[in-house]
Structure 1
Amino acid sequence: MATAKSIAADIEAIPGKKENLRKAFEELQAHSSSLASFTLRWKDLEEHIASIQASIEDRFRELESKENERSVTFMPAHAAVAQPSEKETIVPVIVEEEPEVDPRPELKSFCLKMDGKGLLQFINQNRKDLLNIRKELNRAIRAAPDPAKLVIDAVEGFYPAKVSGEGPSEGELHANRRTCTLLLERLHVISREIKPLTRQKATKLGKEWKKKMSQDGGQNYVEALAFLQLLVSYNIMSEFEADELFNLLIPMAKRKQTIALCRDLGLSEKMPDFIQKLSSKGKQLDAVKFVYAFGLADKFPPVPLLKEYIKESKKISQEVRRKGNNSAQSQNEATAKELAALRAVIKTIEEYKLESEYSPESLHKRITQLEQQKAERKRSAASSALTNPKGQAQQYQASKRPRPSTTTATAVVAAHPPPSHFSQTQSHLSLVDRSPFMASTGPYGLGGNSYIYERSSSAYASNPLGLGATRSPPRSLLYPDSLSGSSLYDRSGAYVNYSLPGGLPPQYNSSLYR
């Protein structure tokens, strides 16, 4: 069973592995011209990986929280009283429940010296031990003469400047930004005192980050989270419009910590506007989550939101089929999307106990119907592959160089006949010089006393070289007719009328079977 330390180490290794994947993807993309259906972009793949990584981190933090709560449960009564119990907050308030540990000397030294850049670098270089460093950070930062200034100096490296045209790798950049976010979260927990000059510096830094996110054409989850945490930790939310913050929160609405972040940003009174924005962008399931988190079920009934989500998912599935010309691949993709939407709605109904208002029975029936259709398409495809094996053969033949037909080859040779003296001057190459004891047989072993070199060339009408012409005088044999080759097993072949192209019957040496 994996320990929390090993899980944390695996999570920290994700950026490096993603960087290796990006390099491999770029190598594959260099050959995209050879693949007609290669339409995948790295940005799409990166967003998918980021979504999975965020889900893993959310789950890991949730498990850490449960582990800490369990440790609190078994504490003595007098000690348990001192522990705060806040159920509503998730992140970053959850770090309050983590046990504090005396920091290692190096970590504490950076804080005492107010060396923010050194602190950031030290954590980045020791990310394999991040689980223990997280527990030491609270006391280490608290030991600094000015914790707020220490952290703002450290997170200035969130967007590191390029040196000599080369910057950090994507994996290093991601790790650096996660460290900055961690420092901002810790500051929010341990220090509420922000000096005016430090707050002013944080405001300037926040505007720079916002501008850089806009220049990138959008922001990823880590950038948005760090920016919003900066506003919370230094209490500078009023410097930015609520709509600007909503635009950053919408893409991360499915994250569990977003609810706590909205409260910390002071957006509780504006949640109706946020819920409407979520619904208008097809995020009705996330809207339901915020409806219950902020007690707005009377104003935003959840059932209509869920039904609207089902309706939108069907439209999306139809659009996928249309763009794919209703191909088997597009049908499977559309079915997968609709199935995922149906299951998500059922999960929401069960989570918020809405069965009495919205029975999931019809949704289960639709899931069964879609799964049956998917299975039927799979069976049809397998059956088609078995009954029509020529498809692959034709595709293979199409890629081969066509061979000239017999008629074409004959015509070419006939158009350029050899010299008339060919059979005389080259007689040593003709068929008449076969070994004299090689008897001639008919089709499939049909016996006969005539030999190929005693046949007239007219018997081989398609033989343009005139090979096998009648010898004059006939050549004598070493053996009498009584000892000449007979038919195969002394019986005539069943296919006596079978002949090979060009009029030449197949020859078999019956002596091989004696």
Structure 2
Amino acid sequence: MTTELAIETERTQKFFNDLDAQKAILSSCTQLFTTLTTHFKSLNNSLALKSQSLESKFQSLESNSQLTLETLCCREKSIPERESAAASKVEEQRETALLEFRDSHSFDNLSDSLKSLCRRMDSSGLLRFVVSKRKESVFLRAEISRAIMEAVDPARLILDAVDELVRDKVGKVGVTDKRWACGILVQALFPEGSCFGRKDKGPEFARSVVERAAGILENWKEEERCRGEG
């Protein structure tokens, strides 16, 4: 009888032990399921946010592309009109320059003298004239920008003047004054609002003009280097 009771007690204990083990397994599974559910929910939210972000970027890209295409289309349509206007302006300036050559005479007015030199694309004469008017620099600065715009090719006129300075010998008399004059002329090409970090759009130049300017700058730097070594 005692033996049977011991056996039953052992079986009962084993049953409860198995039950506790099953309970522990069930608890672990429940915890794992909760963890996985939370993880996949977070992953799903992250994917949804990324998908939304990509969709927004695609919409923005499409909008920007459409705007760019419309801008390019408008610019393309305006090219003939702009070419015609530019050609008319060049022709007008050419005729004015030819008249200046035919009716060449001195001017008492500084502004008229500047415009005449610019119309004739006389870079050497312009450089000499600016140097000669150094004492009138305040008035000169005010007039030079308007005068340069009278030239058929303002950028080439200024580059010719700077190139002349660079090609001068280092020890030649008047180089300092010419440097000052070139500084005045170069500044005149750029509106005040386009300099010193301001937001106003500056003038645009052809690639050939930019390349020539870079070449002149390199020559200038080389001259300065040689001068320093000398």
- Taking structure 2 as the reference length, what is the TM-score of the superposition? 0.44
- Taking structure 1 as the reference length, what is the TM-score of the superposition? 0.20
Q: Where is the helix percentage greater, Structure 1 or Structure 2?
A: 2
Higher relative contact order (CA 8 A, sep 6+): 2
